Amino acid sequence: MAKEKLVKEITAMDEDFAKWYTDVVSKAELMDYSSVKGCMIIRPYGYAIWENIQSILNSMFKATGHENVYMPMFIPESLLQKEKDHVEGFAPEVAWVTHGGNEKLEERFCVRPTSETLFCDHYKDIIQSYRDLPKLYNQWCSVVRWEKTTRPFLRSREFLWQEGHTIHATAEEAQAETVQMLNVYADFAENYLAIPVVKGVKTEKERFAGAENTYTIEALMHDGKALQSATSHYFGDGFAKAFGIQYTDKDNKLTHPFQTSWGCTTRLIGAVIMTHGDDNGLVLPPAIAPTQLIVIPIATHKAGVTEKATEIYEKVNKICRAKIDLGEQSPGWKFAEYEMKGVPLRLELGPRDIENNQCVICRRDNGEKIVVSLDELEDKISQLLAAVHEGMFNKALERRNQMTYDAHNSEEMKEIADNKPGFIRAMWCGERECEDALKESVGVTSRCIPFNEEQLSDTCVCCGKPAKHMLYWGKAY
């Protein structure tokens, strides 16, 4: 009954997806609401997930030659104003500091919404020669954007992220960096988060403020909405010119370098919840799960059960992130609790299992129970963790494929958008007017032009003129 009661506390996904989501993040103890409107408290379990994300990505960034740095959290207004498109893009979301103590500041400071301007101000002081290039930097920090509508992990006024900032001697190097880092994000999403993504380039309308090109990975959530999960931006030499960054090249000529930036945020936790979760709570990919296996002894009042379970826990904890629950609650309550928290594997051990030199392992992703010999436990756990990841990825990919539709005209597109949640693939003429019209009449936004475009037809889905690109469209978070 305890399990039944606990599960009922989560609103069913099909009944109210938004309520299901907030139930899960709250009841799985990932976050709590704070007294600062629009800002959230990330609780230990939620932060442990972020730490695992951070640790894996940090290793991937360093493997590609990047170094971590830290910039101030305040940006002088005069510095922010130097790149016109950039400041216009962020102006509505900027939080300003106007006083220091009781004194009004001579110049306002904004609390960083992103750090391009700070990096540029630094680059102009440290780059003089081609020998100083490239600079491959990354920063882990929080940023502030004064969002009107917030939702835990997906959109908050302060959030944690990483922002990569690099500067190069040539446009070719910078462009290669932009694509390389997008591929790092795609690799991470698919091989660590078990989330299939579409890689592509944003339209001009959807580009990052001040960028010449923005690349994105787009994921599809359980409810058929898209989630932009990470982006990578090519700036050309626009920022360098605005900030007076120059270097002497090999021919002793003064020239401007080329820049990139790229980032992802705690929004990835929201992506994991909405891609893999179910009506029992979280389903966590093994790579980022704070606990990969929970040991639950059955009938602990019987002699030897607790001791044997502890012995097994100490053994498996050497090969994965394991915990043992020796609490007084019933096994059923514990099963529901760790299902809620998305623990990938549950190991059950009772007196009869001990007699037979075995245990039962249950997979969170599909509920399958496997009897495992205690002599083969280490090898089997490694195999099962890999199988859980593969099962989660394949399930998400199959759902995305089933929820991806092709449209050949605006009427067909509207019918799909109104009745079939998911991605819509359709051809586009390249004109902003059609992009705006589809948002207004169909209610979808352009997600990206995929790297692997297909020619679905010769004409634009909106205006019927010759098509230039195939786009992924959809409703999005």
Query: How confident is the model over 185-198, as pLDDT tens digits?
Result: 999 999 999 999 99
Specify the pTM. 0.95
Pairing of strands 469-474, 423-428: antiparallel
Task: Please list the pLDDT of the chain residue by residue as tens digits (477 residues).
Answer: 344 444 458 999 999 999 999 999 999 999 999 999 999 999 999 999 999 999 999 999 999 999 999 999 999 999 988 877 777 877 889 999 999 999 999 999 999 999 999 999 999 999 999 999 999 999 999 999 999 899 999 999 999 999 999 999 999 999 999 999 999 999 999 999 999 999 999 999 999 989 999 999 999 999 999 999 999 999 999 999 999 999 999 999 999 999 999 999 999 999 999 999 999 999 999 999 999 999 999 998 899 999 999 999 999 999 999 999 999 999 999 999 999 999 999 999 999 999 999 999 999 999 999 999 999 999 999 999 999 999 999 999 999 999 999 999 999 999 999 999 999 999 999 999 999 999 999 999 999 999 999 999 999 999 999 999 999 999 999
Q: 306: how many CB neighbours lie within 10 A of its CB? A: 16
Rg (CA), the chain: 25
Phi/psi for 7 (5° steps) reads -65, -35
Query: Position of tokens 């989660």?
Result: 392
Give the domains, in start order, of the chain with CATH numbers. 2-276 (3.30.930.10), 293-391 (3.40.50.800), 404-474 (3.30.110.30)
Pairing of strands 423-428, 404-406: parallel
Return the C-alpha torsion angle 188, 154, 424, 473, nearest 10: -100
Specify the pLDDT at position 455.
95
Q: CA–CA separation, 234 vs 92, rounded Å?
A: 23
Q: CA–CA separation, 153 vs 35, rounded Å?
A: 16
Specify the pLDDT at position 8.
52
DSSP class of residue 151 equals B
Specify the pLDDT at position 1.
38
Angle (deg, nearest 10), helices 171-191 and 44-63: 140
Q: CA–CA separation, 407 vs 426, rounded Å?
A: 5
End-to-end CA distance of the chain: give it in Å, rounded: 36
DSSP class of residue 228 equals E
Specify the pLDDT at position 4.
46
Q: CA–CA separation, 298 vs 62, rounded Å?
A: 44
Q: CA–CA separation, 385 vs 285, rounded Å?
A: 9
Q: CA–CA separation, 39 vs 51, rounded Å?
A: 19
Specify the pLDDT at position 83.
75
Q: 104: how many CB neighbours lie within 10 A of its CB? A: 9
- Give the DSSP per-residue string, 63-105: HTT-EE----SEEEHHHHTTSHHHHHHHGGG-EEEEEETTEEE
Query: For residue 161, how many C-alpha atoms fall within 13 Å in the half-sphere facing its CB?
Result: 25
Contact 141, 70 (CB under 8 A): yes
Q: Quick check: helix, strand or coil at residue 243?
A: helix
Specify the pLDDT at position 91.
82
